[in-house]
Amino acid sequence: MHEERWVKLSALAGVAGPLWFAGAVGGLTLAQYGFMRTLGWDPLQASTLDWPSGLSLGPDGWMMTFTFVLCGCLMAVFALGLRRALAGDHARRATALFFCAGLAMTLLAASTDPTLRNTSATWHGVLHDIAFVSLGLTLFPAMLLLGFAFRQDGYWRGLGTCTWVTIALAAPAFVLKGLAFYGFLAAVLVWSELSALRLYRWANNEA
């Protein structure tokens, strides 16, 4: 019973993280719209320029910093729950990478440097960039392996195809930029919600 309770809590962490992230980023973008424009950001023409990381540099930036730490921790907890629910080598490697992705997200709390600047890079800006790259290098392989792990379990099988479709939708964001980046965020957040809800139902079935 204790095991199922822990998995439920990790599933709830997986549900809460994307919802918090979407709400915080959306709210801060509206609240700090004018400030973001001073950084060179444009919601259509330069959607990835210092967004969303640049939100941490604004007058309410502490909220974005807090969001990176909170959502990274929630992602790591969610990964531990998935590890309890899935079996096999693919699952073990996938959830380890997913856990590392959560840790990388917490390090995004190190303030980014504005892209358009006349000063040298700061140590915290370099750390932020390293964390961002680490997040990409762990999250996408984790999702790919999770797709295989899901396909090997009858309960999770339908989510395997969904996982690979999400990767296919998210990948163009790194090439096309612009509006595709919003699609990337939306696809990953929706996938996270679906996975967390499936984990919660799994824990209920096991109880």
Q: pLDDT tens digits for 3-37?
A: 778 899 999 999 999 999 999 999 999 999 999 99
- Dump pLDDT digits (tens) for 58-67: 999 999 999 9
Nearest to 185 by CA among 195, 199, 200, 172: 172
| pTM for the model | 0.91
Residue with tokens 């073990």: 92
